[in-house]
Amino acid sequence: MSAEPQTPLVVGLGELIWDMFPEGRRLGGAPSNFAYISRLLGDEAAVASRVGRDALGREAAGRLGRAGLSTRYLQTDGEHPTGTVGVRIGAHGEPHFNVNENSAWDYLEWTPAWEELAGRAAVVCFGTLGQRRPEARETIQSFLAATRADALRLFDVNLRHSFFTPEMLARSLRLSTVVKLNAEELTSAASMLKLKAAGELETARELLGLFDLRLVAVTRGARGSLLVSHGEADEHPGFRVEQIADAIGCGDAFAAALAHCLRRGAPLALSNEVANRVGSWLATQTGATPEADPATIARLLEGLTEQ
């Protein structure tokens, strides 16, 4: 099902990928995962990406539609295949990826439909991988520039990819209002951008001021996260997870829950708690797009409905 045209949307912008595990394939890609969890939490959501004119592309569109996500803005490419990535899970549940080149999502096009979507978007999540080719990078930047001034533009940093440059990082930060990155990426970003601050808190504050951001979120894996806004900071120790299924999509779930909270004006500490709770819950599930009943969603969002 698709959202009504006038409904503000949460948009996952960028790569749409099939994760190819030894035991089978799962639909993924950080923006798609973000949109899926946003829909699970009760937001209207859409995926803005591109698939091939092939069986995997048709299957991806079908799965997104059945999950309640709008597929109206899913482009089709007749020359390049739907994106795939080989996945291997390490001893501690951590994923290792081998992303195929020249996939359909590398060739995102700026169209009138996407310009209309940008104007409706209440939240947009984008990352680094989706910008590896200039065609997609220019389209993503055009999309972000066309959003409303009050839109939440969440940049989910991933610096594992060698193609990313300091200039691309700085440009993405300037187009953002919220940035999420892990502790290692914060150190790498500080080096790439030649920041002067030392320590997570002060580095996050320097990023905040330098790029006129609303919020910097630093994730620490099992040790929780740090949120830094103007004049406020909050640390959460994370939730203990007794049995990890896999860690795929936990950061995307954290980001989706954080955006869900920020959009509703939740206090920083509550936003941090809910985001950690959702990310920890996903670690107990297999894959990045599990199902959840209303009781589970209510538990994950505990405290937020009282705001």
pLDDT digits (tens, 9 = 90+) for 181-195: 999 999 999 999 999
pLDDT in tens, 194-209: 999 999 999 999 999 9
Q: Domain range holding 116?
A: 9-15+30-46+110-300
The arrangement of strands across the sheet holding 17-21 comes to 24-28, 17-21, 83-89, 95-99
The answer to whether position 251 is within a domain reads yes
Decide if 57 is inside a domain.
no
3-class SS of residue 226? strand
271 within a domain of the structure (yes/no): yes
Average pLDDT over residues 268-281: 98
Split at pLDDT 50, 70, 90, the class of 307 is: low
Nearby residues of 142 by Cβ (< 8 Å), 6 or more positions away: 110
Tokens at residue 303, please?
A: 């405290």
Return mean pLDDT, the chain: 93
Pairing of strands 17-21, 24-28: antiparallel
pLDDT at 208: 98
Quote the pLDDT of residue 2: 44
Residue 79 in any domain: the answer is no
Torsion, Cα 252 248 22 57, to 10 degrees, reads: -10
Residue 205 domain flag: yes
Closest Cα partner for 258 from 216, 201, 208? 216
Domain CATH code at residue 270: 3.40.1190.20
Report if residue 287 sits inside a domain.
Answer: yes
In three-state secondary structure terms, 267 is coil
Q: Which of 22-26, 80-84, 134-138 has the lowest mean pLDDT?
A: 22-26
CB 155 within 8 A of CB 172: yes
Task: Return contacts of 280-283, CB within 8 angstroms, 24+ apart.
Answer: 280/238, 280/239, 280/241, 280/250, 281/253, 282/37, 282/249, 282/250, 282/253, 283/93, 283/241, 283/244, 283/245, 283/246, 283/247, 283/250
12 contact partners, CB below 8 Å, separation of at least 6: 29, 30, 31, 32, 33, 34, 35, 36, 38, 45, 46, 47, 48, 49, 125
How many contiguous H segments (helices) and E segments (strands) does the chain have? Answer: 10, 13
Helix axes 183-192, 200-210, angle to 10 degrees: 50
- Cβ proximity of 272 and 237 under 8 Å: no
Return the structure tokens found at 229. 């806004």
Considering the domain boundaries, does residue 146 fall inside one?
A: yes
Q: Which tokens is 196 given?
A: 């002067």
Task: Pick the closest to residue 181 from 127, 241, 231 (CA basis).
Answer: 127
Considering the domain boundaries, does residue 52 fall inside one? no
Q: How many domains does the chain have?
A: 1
Question: Helix (H, G, I), strand (E, B), or coil: what is residue 221?
Answer: helix
Cβ density class 102-118: b for 16+ within 10 Å, e for less: ebbbbbbebeeebeebb
Residue 19 has pLDDT above 60, yes or no: yes
Please write the tens of the pLDDT for every residue from 86-128.
887 777 767 777 889 999 999 999 999 999 999 999 999 999 9
